[in-house]
Amino acid sequence: MNKIAYINNEPHAFHDGETILKFVKRITGQDNIIPTLCDAPNLDPFGSCRVCSVDVALEKDGNKKTMASCHTPVTEGQYIYPNTANVKKLRKNIMELVLTDHPLDCLTCEVNGNCELQDVAAQVGIREVRYPEGKNHLDRTKDLSHPYMTSDMSKCINCYRCVRACDEVQGQFVLSMAGRGFDSHIVKGQDVTFMESDCVSCGACAQACPTSAISDVFQSKAIVAEETTRTICTYCGVGCNLEVSTANGEILSITAPYEAEANGGHTCLKGRYAFKFYNHPDRLRTPLIKRNGEFKEATWDEAYDYIANELNRIKAENGPDAIAGISSARTPNEENYLMQKFIRAVVGTNNIDCCARVCHSPTALGMQRAFGTGAATNSIEDLVYTDCIIVIGANPTDAHPVTGARIKQKFMKGVTSIVVDPRRIELAKYATYHLQLRPGTNVALLNMMLYYIVSEGWMDETFVAKRTEGFDELKAELMQLDIDELERITGVDKHLVKEATKAYSHANAAMEFHGLGVTEHSQGTFAIQLIADLAMITGNVGKRGAGVNPLRGQNNVQGAADMGAQPHQGAGYLDVTNPEINHRYNTFYKAEVPSHVGYKIPEMFNAAIDGDLKALWIIGEDVVQTDPNTNKVKAAMDAVDLLVVQELFMTETAKHATVILPGASFLEKEGTFTNGERRIQRVNKVVEPLEGTKPDGQIIVDIMNRMGYEQPDYTAEGVLSEISEIVPFFAGVKWKELGDNGKQWPVKPDGTDTQILHTEEFKRGKGKFTFFEFAESNEIETHGKDFPYIITTNRELEHYNCGAMTRRTGNVEILTEDVLLINPEDAKKEGIEDGDFVCVESPRGKVDIKAVVTDEMKPGVLSSTFHFPEIMLNIITSDEHCSEAMCPEYKVVSCRIRKSKGKHKQLAKATAERV
């Protein structure tokens, strides 16, 4: 039965736990019926400023008590009077007191016209301030130390919103309040500047601040925008919604919509601030054709003719399988769909792949084998419902920062938490258990966990009996394991593993997240299948707060695979070798699509070097910088007759191109991105493409037509409609019905979407258990003796992948170079000090890189990034790969180290010049 409370003596039903503020706003439909200052949509109620005070009585017109509405829950039979003369007077008085300590220079203030303080002062009717001026906020020193964050604390009203945003949203605890009374003031860290503090530049404080006390260099709260456009971040798989302000066709600033389901008013610095690449002078603005070793400007027609002639020639002379394409996980679904359609239906080969190959191909394959589909089983929203989180081989606070911040919040609030990672990553510092295994031993560690679950009887027998198959075989294998041997292999105390396993298996709902630390191994697919085993054996699939949840790397890597940018499955994960499917594609595309599997990316490189692949078309992937074994990749690029590169910038790969086609960035085009939780969201065009560039989808359509295939001009709506006809789980996806928050696939024809997969039965019917024995990586077996250290690669918060975009933004002032993380014991043994340059040598080559000595690393294990081309870390990485999915083994690279001799001086100079 509805519980009733009264607003101005009128009865209304309220929700359990609803605050008076929310209740009154909901019932009246007026967002500002009660003025507020310290309240903010994405922060917990605080009740500090009391501006939201209302009168409350226990009976009609009874004795009234004044209460802060933002944090007082509604109770049954309460009589609420939101705007009595009493509370109006109180609010006015509070505002006068607030204003005594705030400069009244509104006309010249950055937020004039968009200042919450100004609005509330007007709303409560302030005309004068009767109290003497406070002294604290007369300090007009501005903090301009940071490339993005700014502060002018004279404008601070001590509402604590910035402090709470830093604590509750980001979990960084950089901001705090110092002093008392009029001396109260916000400080950063130990009262240092933004740049000196531990600020991660997420901008949550700037967005939360109701005045201009904390802001950013883009003055994101100033009202100079002519238009705002909602779109989706292009960097990582979280898929944050962005509100982009523009004027005169230029981007001014970006904020985060509070009601966005993917990010709830939060972003990291990449989404909010790293947008200045879009009109950077380095952008490519005209097609280029390499003639006699030099790039020459060309018209689009010349470039198209050149490409079409070359592709036709190569196809005639060598057959369609001599041509291949690598699509981009950073471009929308529609463009990926067109790219794979072009390669399949126009060229006539299945030689199409995307960067999922080098990141989550083992996830897709392993989860398809176990569950029937390779995508995340749950939604990020499920973090609210979980009581145990296990993070395996992922560093989300750096690589998926908004989801990472949400996971960190859960860790800090005491949910049972397990981190499996060779590094003591940020989350490990808050985790209940950190299983710091040796790189490459995930399979051994997961086997230990499965062994304990079975041997201790911690499994969910009902789930296993009803929903799965293969358990008896799994059990028989597990019971043969030598746990002491696995302890030796992993380097993790078996008692600790047992304790963590007990915690995971005893949780009501345990949620698993994993990243490239699981997939980028020779046993990557096997580890994924064991993770699926772990979830199934404990009944953690198909329900809220549980599941297996890959943290997808690039923003649309889920979508690129969904759209068929892979050689064995076409659009919608349909098997290209199945005659019925083949017939279906042929009929739909009105073309002859082959029924044999095409090349995966590493096979493309091998085929190029062997002379079997003659043409390669790459969209938005800098394979030279980011794929392993750089020298081999370069050799492959140089071996083909035709290398077409569609790009924003002259990347390391583009330098090897025969033809470069200047594409448009995500801010200049429309389409949809699918984030890591299967959420298909609309990418809306914010500004026109830079002169001379074209949306990648239109480029592909142009070349399809040039080669005789009739494909209508690119519109996101048109292509999405075509996709919905061929991709079964897109059946109900319609451009106009996606709304602001998109839909999570599968989307039924009636438009109903799906938050949790496998609730009743698995996509494949029964979930399949499989056992895999640990096998040492070939890299260690072959080279471990001469190259005794293991280097793993990782990502840093400030940069994305090859860094082509982030290095052209203020991010480069925050993180200026790739560094080598090394344990203090190892550093001492090798005579290396913090800041020294180190020569890291593997069987493939060597690089010089600056050392950072840190106990984050285990002895014998090193770590670095490949964001900067002057280091080219992938010169040393190995092209060993997952035996099943061909994902390269970036995480286990044998190497040796010594202090550098000379090359480091050049590197130091390159870094200094860039900064």
Binding site residues, ligand SF4, CB under 6 A: 233, 235-236, 238-240, 263, 267-268, 270-271, 400-402
DSSP state at residue 437? P
Distant-in-sequence, close-in-space partners of 534: CB < 8 Å, separation ≥ 6? 446, 449, 450, 453, 504, 512, 540
Q: Measured from the CB atom, is 68 or 199 closer to ligand SF4?
A: 199
What does the block give as tokens for 382? 């499920």
Distant-in-sequence, close-in-space partners of 190: CB < 8 Å, separation ≥ 6? none
**Cis peptide leading into 746, omega within 30 of 0?**
yes
Shortest Å distance, C-beta 667 to ligand SF4: 13
Shortest Å distance, C-beta 467 to ligand SF4: 33
CA distances from 370 to 9, 55, 442, 449, 541 (A): 59, 58, 17, 18, 12
DSSP state at residue 294? E
Shortest Å distance, C-beta 677 to ligand SF4: 12
Q: Alpha-carbon torsion 194, 200, 203, 205, what sign?
A: negative
Q: Measured from the CB atom, is 426 or 848 closer to ligand SF4?
A: 426
Q: Measured from the CB atom, is 25 or 406 closer to ligand SF4?
A: 406
- Name the nearest CA neighbour of 366 among 548, 566, 528: 528
DSSP string, 742-762: -EESS--TTS---SSS-SSSB
Conformational region of residue 63, where left means phi above 0, alpha means psi within -120 to 50, and beta covers everything else = beta
What does the block give as tokens for 891? 């995480």
CB 398 within 8 A of CB 157: no
Shortest Å distance, C-beta 266 to ligand SF4: 8
CB 369 within 8 A of CB 550: no
CA–CA distance, 287 with 302 (Å, rounded to integer): 9
Half-sphere exposure of 897 (CA within 13 A, CB side): 28
Q: Measured from the CB atom, is 235 or 513 closer to ligand SF4?
A: 235
Shortest Å distance, C-beta 404 to ligand SF4: 8
DSSP state at residue 9? T
Of all helices (H) and strands (E), which one includes residue 199? none
Q: Measured from the CB atom, is 242 or 503 closer to ligand SF4?
A: 242
Q: Measured from the CB atom, is 50 or 799 closer to ligand SF4?
A: 799
Q: Measured from the CB atom, is 7 or 262 closer to ligand SF4?
A: 262
Q: Measured from the CB atom, is 202 or 819 closer to ligand SF4?
A: 202
- Name the nearest CA neighbour of 511 among 337, 756, 271: 756
The strand pairing partners of 511, in sequence order, are 389
CA distances from 77 to 3, 5, 33, 57, 302 (A): 8, 5, 21, 9, 77
Shortest Å distance, C-beta 364 to ligand SF4: 20
Shortest Å distance, C-beta 397 to ligand SF4: 10
Q: Measured from the CB atom, is 260 or 370 closer to ligand SF4?
A: 260
305 phi and psi angles, rounded to 5 deg: -60, -45
Shortest Å distance, C-beta 563 to ligand SF4: 19
The strand pairing partners of 838, in sequence order, are 849, 899
- Name the nearest CA neighbour of 35 among 105, 117, 111: 117
Shortest Å distance, C-beta 278 to ligand SF4: 14
Q: Measured from the CB atom, is 329 or 727 closer to ligand SF4?
A: 329
CA–CA distance, 447 with 467 (Å, rounded to integer): 21
What does the block give as tokens for 856? 């984050």
Shortest Å distance, C-beta 263 to ligand SF4: 6
Q: Measured from the CB atom, is 401 or 697 closer to ligand SF4?
A: 401
How many Cβ atoms sit within 10 Å of the Cβ of residue 620? 25
Of all helices (H) and strands (E), which one includes residue 417? strand 416-420
DSSP string, 498-535: HHHHHHHHHSSSEEEEE-HHHHSSTTHHHHHHHHHHHH
Q: Measured from the CB atom, is 191 or 740 closer to ligand SF4?
A: 740
The H-assigned helical ranges of 794-870 are 811-814, 824-830
Shortest Å distance, C-beta 264 to ligand SF4: 11
Shortest Å distance, C-beta 272 to ligand SF4: 6
Q: Measured from the CB atom, is 188 or 400 closer to ligand SF4?
A: 400
What does the block give as tokens for 581? 């499917």
Shortest Å distance, C-beta 308 to ligand SF4: 36
Half-sphere exposure of 411 (CA within 13 A, CB side): 25
Burial class (CB in 10 A: 0-12, 13-18, 19+), 136: middle
- Position of tokens 């085009």? 669
Q: Measured from the CB atom, is 666 or 762 closer to ligand SF4?
A: 666
Q: Which residue, judged by CB position, is nearest to ligand SF4 in the bound state?
A: 271
CB 868 within 8 A of CB 818: yes
Shortest Å distance, C-beta 840 to ligand SF4: 28
Shortest Å distance, C-beta 806 to ligand SF4: 10
CB 574 within 8 A of CB 373: no
Shortest Å distance, C-beta 694 to ligand SF4: 24
Q: Measured from the CB atom, is 254 or 428 closer to ligand SF4?
A: 254
Distant-in-sequence, close-in-space partners of 64: CB < 8 Å, separation ≥ 6? 55, 56, 57, 81, 84, 86
CA–CA distance, 82 with 96 (Å, rounded to integer): 20
Distant-in-sequence, close-in-space partners of 706: CB < 8 Å, separation ≥ 6? 304, 305, 307, 308
Shortest Å distance, C-beta 112 to ligand SF4: 28
Q: Measured from the CB atom, is 468 or 744 closer to ligand SF4?
A: 744
Q: Measured from the CB atom, is 402 or 857 closer to ligand SF4?
A: 402
Shortest Å distance, C-beta 483 to ligand SF4: 39
Q: Measured from the CB atom, is 241 or 361 closer to ligand SF4?
A: 241
DSSP state at residue 73? B
